C-alpha cells in the first residue's frame, strides 16, 4: 500500500510543479494551494492512520517532505504574482483613458474663431476700459446729452451723469481714432453692461465685438464684403446673409444684418420666430459727426462700423436656446458641444 502512495505523491509533486508554472494569476495559485496543500495532505494523513508502525515512520517522513515541498513551491508562486500586482499599481499609463482634460469655455472658443477670421482680413485687436465716461460712451458717438437714442441702452451709472459702465465697446473705437491717423482697421472685443433682468435671452453683462474700418474710399460695398465673408467663415458657405435698413446714431446709413436660421435652415422655427432669419449684427457707414469729432476729415475719409453680441451668436453657433446656459457651466452640456 505504501509503495502506491509513494508513487502517487511523486506524481502529485510533478503535477503541482507544472500546474504552478502555468498558473495565470494569484487566484489559480490559491486554488492549487487548497487542492494540494490542504485536501491532498489531509487525505494522506488519513491514509497514515491505517498504516503499520514501521510504515508510519517512513511514510510520515515522505508526507512531511511533500508538504514542505508544496508549501515552498506555492510560496514562490504567490510571491511572483504579488510582486507583479504591486508593480502594476505604479503603472502611470494605466488610467490614461479615464482622465478628461479641461478645455476652453465655448464662448472663448467661438471668440477665438471670430478673432482669427478678422485678423486674417487684416484687423488689429484693440481693448479699452470697462469703466467709461459719458464722453466716450455717448457724446463722441453722436449721442449728445438728452438725445432720445440714449434710451436704447439702459446704462449702469457709477456716478451720474459722467462715469458709467460702458454699454458698448464703441467707446474703444473713439479712443483708437483719437490716437491713430487713418487708415484704421480694428476690432474691439470686451464685456459690456446694460440694465437688464436675467431671462432666457438677456443678461446684464455680455460680450460684444465691434469693428471699425476708416480709410479713403471706403464704401458700403466694403462693409458688405467683410461681413458676408465673416459670417460664411464662421457658419459655413451655405449660410444666407441679408442687410436691411436700421437706425444707429453713430452710423448713416445703418443696416441690421440677418443670417439664415442655423436651427431650421431658413424654414422657420421657434428660435427665428418663424421668419427663417436671425439678426446677428448691427452695422453702417460711420456718421460724419463721429469722424469730425475725433479730428478726421470726413470729406477725405469714410468708414464703416459693426457690432455683434457674442452671446447671441453663440446661441446660433452651438444651437442653444437660452443665453444663461452659457454661464451655468453645466459640464455635461459643454461635453456635447
**Grid cell digits, residue 306:** 459693426
Minimum gap (Å) between residue 271 Cβ and Zn ion: 5
Q: Per-residue x/- marks for Zn ion, 271-300, CB under 5 A?
A: xx----------------------------
Question: Which helix (H) or strand (E) covers residue 230, if one does?
Answer: helix 220-235
The Cα–Cα gap between 322 and 330 comes to 13
| Closer of 167 and 260 to Zn ion (Cβ) | 260
Minimum gap (Å) between residue 268 Cβ and Zn ion: 6
The Cα–Cα gap between 313 and 61 comes to 89
Q: Quickly count: other Cβ atoms within 10 Å of residue 137's Cβ.
A: 26
310 touches Zn ion by CB under 5 A: no
Q: Of 25-33, 54-62, 211-219, 263-271, which part binds Zn ion (CB under 5 A)?
A: 263-271
Concatenating the DSSP letter of every residue in 151-206 gives: GGS-PPEEETTTEEE-SSTHHHHHHHHHH-PSPEEEEEEEEEE-----BTTB-SEE
Contact 315, 323 (CB under 8 A): yes
37 touches Zn ion by CB under 5 A: no
228 touches Zn ion by CB under 5 A: no
Q: Of 16-24, 224-232, 266-274, 300-308, which part binds Zn ion (CB under 5 A)?
A: 266-274
User: What SS3 class is residue 250?
Assistant: coil
320 touches Zn ion by CB under 5 A: no
| Closer of 277 and 301 to Zn ion (Cβ) | 277
Which of 269, 279, 288, 289 forms a contact with Zn ion (CB under 5 A)? 269
Minimum gap (Å) between residue 117 Cβ and Zn ion: 24
% helix / strand / coil in the chain, to the nearest 5? 50, 20, 30
315 touches Zn ion by CB under 5 A: no
Nearest to 248 by CA among 217, 279, 202: 279
316 touches Zn ion by CB under 5 A: no
Find residue 149's DSSP bridge partners. Answer: none
264 touches Zn ion by CB under 5 A: yes
Residue nearest to Zn ion (CB): 261
**Grid cell digits, residue 106:** 465655448
| Closer of 204 and 240 to Zn ion (Cβ) | 240
| Closer of 17 and 321 to Zn ion (Cβ) | 321
| Closer of 61 and 267 to Zn ion (Cβ) | 267
The Cα–Cα gap between 184 and 291 comes to 12
Cis peptide before 161 (omega within 30 of 0): yes
DSSP state of 208: E
Which of 106, 263, 279, 289 forms a contact with Zn ion (CB under 5 A)? 263
| Closer of 261 and 308 to Zn ion (Cβ) | 261
Minimum gap (Å) between residue 282 Cβ and Zn ion: 20
Contact 261, 269 (CB under 8 A): yes
What count of residues does the chain have?
337
Minimum gap (Å) between residue 261 Cβ and Zn ion: 3
| Closer of 253 and 276 to Zn ion (Cβ) | 276
26 touches Zn ion by CB under 5 A: no
Which residues would be at the binding site for Zn ion (CB under 5 A)? 261, 263-264, 269, 271-272
Amino acid at each position: 500500500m505504501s509503495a502506491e502512495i509513494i508513487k502517487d505523491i511523486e506524481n502529485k509533486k510533478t503535477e503541482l510543479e507544472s500546474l504552478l508554472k502555468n498558473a495565470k494569476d494569484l487566484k489559480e495559485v490559491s486554488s492549487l494551494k487548497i487542492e494540494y496543500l490542504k485536501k491532498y495532505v489531509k487525505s494522506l494523513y488519513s491514509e497514515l492512520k491505517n498504516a503499520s508502525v514501521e510504515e508510519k515512520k517512513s511514510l510520515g517522513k515522505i508526507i512531511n517532505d511533500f508538504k514542505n515541498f508544496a508549501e515552498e513551491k506555492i510560496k514562490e508562486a504567490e510571491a511572483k504574482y504579488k510582486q507583479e500586482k504591486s508593480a502594476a499599481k505604479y503603472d502611470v499609463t494605466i488610467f490614461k483613458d479615464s482622465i478628461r482634460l479641461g478645455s476652453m469655455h465655448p464662448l472663448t472658443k467661438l471668440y477665438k474663431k471670430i478673432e482669427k477670421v478678422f485678423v486674417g482680413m487684416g484687423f488689429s485687436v484693440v481693448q479699452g476700459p470697462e469703466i467709461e465716461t459719458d464722453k466716450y460712451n455717448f457724446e463722441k458717438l453722436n449721442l449728445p446729452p438728452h438725445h432720445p437714442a440714449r434710451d436704447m441702452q439702459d446704462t449702469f451709472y457709477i456716478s451720474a451723469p459722467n462715469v458709467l459702465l460702458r454699454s458698448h465697446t464703441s467707446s474703444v473705437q473713439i479712443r483708437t481714432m483719437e490716437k491713430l491717423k487713418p487708415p484704421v482697421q480694428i476690432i474691439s472685443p470686451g464685456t459690456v453692461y446694460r440694465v437688464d433682468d436675467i431671462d432666457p435671452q438677456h443678461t446684464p453683462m455680455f460680450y460684444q465685438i465691434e469693428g471699425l474700418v476708416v480709410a479713403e474710399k471706403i464704401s458700403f460695398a466694403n462693409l458688405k464684403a467683410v461681413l458676408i465673408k465673416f459670417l460664411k467663415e464662421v457658419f459655413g458657405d451655405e449660410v444666407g446673409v441679408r442687410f436691411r435698413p436700421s437706425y444707429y446714431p453713430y452710423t448713416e446709413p445703418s443696416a441690421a444684418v440677418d443670417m439664415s436660421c442655423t436651427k431650421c435652415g431658413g424654414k422657420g422655427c421657434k428660435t427665428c420666430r418663424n421668419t427663417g432669419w436671425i439678426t446677428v449684427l448691427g452695422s453702417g457707414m460711420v456718421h460724419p459727426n463721429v469722424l469730425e469729432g475725433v479730428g478726421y476729415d470726413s470729406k477725405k475719409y469714410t468708414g464703416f462700423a459693426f457690432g455683434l453680441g457674442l452671446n447671441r451668436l453663440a446661441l446660433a453657433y452651438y444651437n442653444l436656446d437660452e443665453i444663461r446656459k452659457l454661464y451655468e457651466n453645466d459640464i455635461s452640456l459643454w461635453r456635447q458641444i
